[in-house]
Amino acid sequence: MENTLKVWRAKRNLTQKELATEVDVSRQTINAIEGGRYDPSLELAFKLAAYFDCRIEDLFDPELDRS
């Protein structure tokens, strides 16, 4: 799943560690999400959207088939 988490994090001038602390996960989890190696749980997606005051769809592209 494509995501714009790194862009949103950069807009707030946050490190991965700072964001991880805010949403109660590890820095490695944020790194894996940004790198496209891990899709967050629904609970984590909601936490991230609430933190950035946006919709989940603003952070994560729900389009599964790109072809």
Q: What CATH number does residue 12 fall under?
A: 1.10.260.40
Q: Is residue 62 part of a domain?
A: no
Q: Is residue 67 part of a domain?
A: no
What is the reported pTM? Answer: 0.90
Q: Is residue 65 part of a domain?
A: no
pLDDT of residue 29: 98
Give the model's confidence band at 63: pLDDT under 50 very low, under 70 low, under 90 confident, else very high: confident
Can you read off the two tokens belonging to residue 64?
A: 């599964």
The average pLDDT across 21-46 equals 97
Which residues constitute the domain of residue 35? 5-55
Q: What percent of the chain has pLDDT over 90?
A: 88
pLDDT of residue 66: 54
Q: Is residue 44 part of a domain?
A: yes
Residue 54 has pLDDT above 70, yes or no: yes
- For 60, phi then psi, to 5°, come to -125, 130
Contact assessment for residue 5 and residue 16, using Cβ atoms and an 8 Å cutoff = no
Q: Is residue 34 part of a domain?
A: yes
